[in-house]
């Protein structure tokens, strides 16, 4: 029986690839003879710049050539789109409005062409990595980018987990604590991972999604621009081309300073003044560079300290320090880390390839190619997740919009947790379940993942009916929420990801058509319609509440009472705001218009929270 299965598995073996979709560089890897290996480009490049160009003929070009065009055609080429992932604001590229995930899909399509060239055309599955600190929205945008590129996205995994997996495969028998410090082009991530008997468990993870090598380049750009202003009274940053040229030069300077102590900057044709070219010729030293970026680097150390604290470990508990990401080639990074830990970081993990190789390891675990390895990876939830509740405010009052955490940040996943709540009003027969992620005690400051209404709660006095809310969070970072009325057992479940998928099918089809048109060089296609991926749920998933007016009225009445109390505490502008709020609450209650009432309640809640600050 077992043998049969094995041969079946062998014959139907489909390679799943691992992809590092980086801000600056991207790469794809697979498992070859039990080991992860890169899938190179036809030009034999193991990593490619994450840059997309739509050239003058409307042709899509990705990688090194696109990167070279950043200076000459800044409005046709785009870099660092990963920083915008999750945003619904389109980016104008060669006159076309594209969403960040659509541009990312073009990068992934390029990688897919390498995979197809290697394994033959056909459906391919992929594991794609994201920074541990990516929000739910950013993860979904990444997954969508993969699907738009034609991959079946098997899993989204965290980059540090991937890096640890790449290391773990070669050290399966060692039990240790690994700190992964990943400083790339646009993001910084640090994680502590425990490896025990082949089980890799992320203990804690933190970072800064807006910190990386790009910032170091811009620091150099600013420094050089100031020098230009001093010498010639001209700010080169005001000219798009000069700015792009300076940025490219800044990166070269930075890289040279990783191996040299000083570099001569020679930019004779940076700008034009009175019909004469003007430029820069200066000496730039490593210590000057370090002085510019040291505050940023020390910020990464603060994150390291925080992650250790969250994992409940001392620096001396860390057995291995893995430096990942191109920016860890800066000698000062090495120095800060070895000073802090009193030990040298490991040099045998390839900073550019570790994440893609690790994604391939995860893919191999999934496809069965590494089933015998004994490796298992778990992860942690990067944010706290919970629901909006009535919460005590200023001692004796309660108000809506408090954040009740069900899954605390850094909980090991997959996980299931439940909490029971009770009805807030007499005769409350429905409850609104608002799902949030974030760390603030008021949901207003957190991120709404979705909401639904549990109807059919038996009419009873306030507090008498229990509602059990269960959160299930899986390894893909996908959340399933169930609300159950305790007395009747009636339950409703919403999967944040599924609901969104259904909702965005139309947007997905439109995106796919748009990309198709791009590849067909369809210059006439100037459909600039904004394509928004809206957070929301399929109608079928939402049980309309029969009697939500009762609940809304009760909420409005409670708010009105509080607003009247507040009136005495404020003067001037604030008191006028409260008066207006009281009038609109009263009007909305009198009119009996549910939509209006909901709007006014939302506004009133916002105003109350503002006033508290």
Residues that bind ligand ADP (CB under 6 A): 22-25, 184-187, 212-214, 251, 254-255, 258, 325-327, 329-330, 352
Six token digits for residue 46:
């193991």
What CA–CA distance (Å, rounded) separates 479 from 373? 29
- Measuring CA to CA, which residue among 280, 246, 260 is closest to residue 329? 260
Q: CB of 257: closest distance to ligand ADP in angstroms?
A: 7
Six token digits for residue 450:
């979705």
- Measuring CA to CA, which residue among 19, 13, 16 is closest to residue 143? 19
DSSP-assigned beta bridge partners for residue 276: 273
Concerning whether 159 is annotated as a catalytic residue, the answer is yes
CA dihedral 42→44→50→52, nearest 10 degrees, is -30
Of 181-210, which residues contact Mg ion (CB under 5 A)?
184
Beta carbon nearer to ligand ADP, 327 or 410: 327
Instruction: Describe the chain by its helix, strand, coil percentages, rounded to 5.
Output: 40, 30, 30
Which of these segments, 17-25, 263-271, 468-476, 552-560, binds Mg ion (CB under 5 A)? 17-25
Concerning whether 182 is annotated as a catalytic residue, the answer is yes
Q: CB of 528: closest distance to ligand ADP in angstroms?
A: 29
Q: CB of 355: closest distance to Mg ion in angstroms?
A: 5
Q: CB of 212: closest distance to ligand ADP in angstroms?
A: 6
Cβ atoms of residues 143 and 169 within 8 Å: no
Size of the site for Mg ion (CB under 5 A): 2
Beta carbon nearer to ligand ADP, 327 or 437: 327
Which of these segments, 22-30, 43-51, 330-338, 426-434, binds Mg ion (CB under 5 A)? 22-30
22 near Mg ion, rule: CB under 5 A:
yes
Q: Which does 102 bind (CB under 5 to 8 A by kind): ligand ADP, Mg ion, none?
A: none
Six token digits for residue 604:
């009133």
What CA–CA distance (Å, rounded) separates 567 from 571? 8
Q: Which does 185 bind (CB under 5 to 8 A by kind): Mg ion, ligand ADP, none?
A: ligand ADP
Q: Which does 186 bind (CB under 5 to 8 A by kind): Mg ion, ligand ADP, none?
A: ligand ADP
Beta carbon nearer to ligand ADP, 41 or 187: 187
What CA–CA distance (Å, rounded) separates 514 from 533? 15
Task: Given the residues 20, 194, 451, 465, select the one marked as catalytic.
Answer: 20
Concerning whether 574 is annotated as a catalytic residue, the answer is no
Cβ atoms of residues 27 and 353 within 8 Å: yes
Task: Given the residues 102, 136, 182, 535, select the one marked as catalytic.
Answer: 182
What does the DSSP assignment read for 212-251?
Answer: SHHHHHHHHHHHHHHHHHHHHS--GGGSHHHHHHHHHHHH
Q: Which does 58 bind (CB under 5 to 8 A by kind): Mg ion, ligand ADP, none?
A: none
Concerning whether 20 is annotated as a catalytic residue, the answer is yes
Q: Which does 326 bind (CB under 5 to 8 A by kind): ligand ADP, Mg ion, none?
A: ligand ADP
With tokens 């659509």, the residue in question is: 102
Q: CB of 123: closest distance to ligand ADP in angstroms?
A: 27
What does the DSSP assignment read for 9-73?
Answer: HHHT---EEEEEE-SSEEEEEEEETTEEEE---TT--SSEE--EEE-TTS-EEESHHHHHHHHH-
358 near Mg ion, rule: CB under 5 A:
no
What CA–CA distance (Å, rounded) separates 484 from 498? 20
Cβ atoms of residues 609 and 603 within 8 Å: no
Beta carbon nearer to ligand ADP, 25 or 410: 25
φ/ψ (deg, to 5) at 355? -70, -45
Q: CB of 289: closest distance to Mg ion in angstroms?
A: 21
Beta carbon nearer to Mg ion, 209 or 429: 209
Q: CB of 215: closest distance to ligand ADP in angstroms?
A: 9
Q: Which does 596 bind (CB under 5 to 8 A by kind): Mg ion, ligand ADP, none?
A: none
Task: Given the residues 137, 147, 159, 503, select the one marked as catalytic.
Answer: 159
Cβ atoms of residues 364 and 40 within 8 Å: no
Question: In terms of residues, how long is the chain?
Answer: 613
Which of these segments, 118-126, 176-184, 239-247, 586-594, binds Mg ion (CB under 5 A)? 176-184
Active site residues: 20, 82, 159, 182
Contact residues for Mg ion (CB under 5 A)? 22, 184
């Amino acid at each position: 029986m077992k043998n049969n299965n094995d041969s079946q598995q062998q014959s139907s073996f489909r390679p799943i690839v691992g992809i590092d979709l980086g801000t600056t560089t991207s790469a794809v890897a697979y498992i070859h003879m039990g080991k992860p290996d890169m899938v190179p480009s036809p030009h034999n490049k193991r990593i490619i710049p994450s840059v997309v160009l739509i050239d003058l003929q409307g042709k899509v070009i990705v990688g090194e050539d696109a990167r070279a065009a950043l200076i000459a055609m800044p409005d046709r080429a785009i870099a660092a789109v990963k920083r915008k992932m999750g945003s619904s604001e389109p980016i104008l590229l060669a006159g076309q409005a594209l969403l960040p995930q659509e541009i990312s899909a073009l990068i992934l399509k390029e990688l897919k062409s390498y995979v197809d060239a290697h394994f033959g055309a056909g459906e391919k599955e992929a594991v794609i990595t994201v920074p541990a600190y990516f929000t739910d929205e950013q993860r979904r945008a990444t997954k969508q980018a993969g699907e738009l590129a034609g991959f079946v996205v098997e899993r989204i995994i965290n980059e540090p987990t991937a890096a640890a997996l790449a290391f773990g495969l070669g050290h399966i028998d060692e039990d240790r604590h690994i700190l992964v410090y990943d400083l790339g082009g646009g993001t910084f991530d640090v994680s502590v991972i425990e490896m025990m008997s082949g089980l890799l468990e992320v203990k804690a993870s933190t970072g800064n999604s807006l910190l990386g090598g790009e910032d170091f380049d811009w620091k150099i750009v600013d420094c050089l621009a100031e020098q230009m202003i001093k010498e010639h009274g001209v700010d080169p940053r005001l000219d798009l081309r000069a700015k792009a040229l300076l940025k490219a030069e800044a990166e070269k300077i930075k890289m040279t300073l990783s191996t040299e102590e000083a570099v001569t900057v020679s930019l004779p044709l940076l700008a034009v003044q009175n019909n004469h070219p003007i430029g820069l010729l200066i000496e730039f030293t490593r210590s000057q560079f370090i002085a510019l970026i040291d505050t940023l680097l020390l910020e990464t150390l603060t994150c390291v300290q925080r992650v250790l604290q969250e994992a409940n470990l001392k620096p001396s508990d860390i057995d291995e320090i893995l430096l990942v990401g191109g920016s860890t080639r800066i000698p000062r990074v090495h120095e800060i880390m070895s000073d802090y830990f009193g030990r040298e970081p490991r040099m045998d993990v390839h900073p550019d390839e570790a994440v893609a190789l690790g994604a391939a390891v995860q893919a191999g675990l999934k496809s069965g190619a590494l089933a015998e390895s004994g490796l298992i990876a778990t992860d942690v939830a990067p944010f706290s997740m919970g629901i909006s509740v009535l919460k005590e405010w200023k001692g004796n009052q309660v108000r809506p919009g408090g954040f009740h955490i069900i899954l605390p940040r850094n909980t090991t996943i997959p996980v299931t947790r439940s909490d029971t709540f009770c009805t807030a009003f007499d005769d409350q027969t429905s409850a609104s379940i608002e799902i949030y992620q974030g760390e603030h005690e008021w949901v207003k400051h957190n991120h709404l993942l979705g909401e639904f209404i549990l109807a059919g709660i038996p009419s009873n006095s306030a507090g008498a009916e229990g509602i059990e809310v269960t959160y299930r969070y899986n390894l893909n970072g996908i959340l399933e929420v169930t609300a159950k009325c305790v007395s009747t057992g009636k339950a409703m479940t919403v999967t944040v990801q599924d609901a969104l998928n259904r909702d965005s099918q139309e947007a997905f089809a439109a995106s796919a058509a748009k990309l198709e048109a791009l590849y067909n060089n369809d210059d006439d296609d100037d459909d600039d319609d904004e394509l928004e991926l809206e957070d929301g749920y399929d109608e079928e998933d939402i049980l309309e509440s029969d009697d939500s007016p009762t609940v809304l009225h009760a909420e409005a009445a409670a708010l009105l009472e509080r607003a009247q109390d507040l009136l005495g505490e404020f003067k001037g502008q604030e008191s006028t705001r409260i008066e207006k709020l009281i009038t609109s609450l009263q009007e909305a209650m009198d009119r009996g218009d549910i939509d209006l009432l909901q709007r006014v309640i939302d506004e009133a809640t916002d105003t109350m929270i503002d006033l508290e600050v």
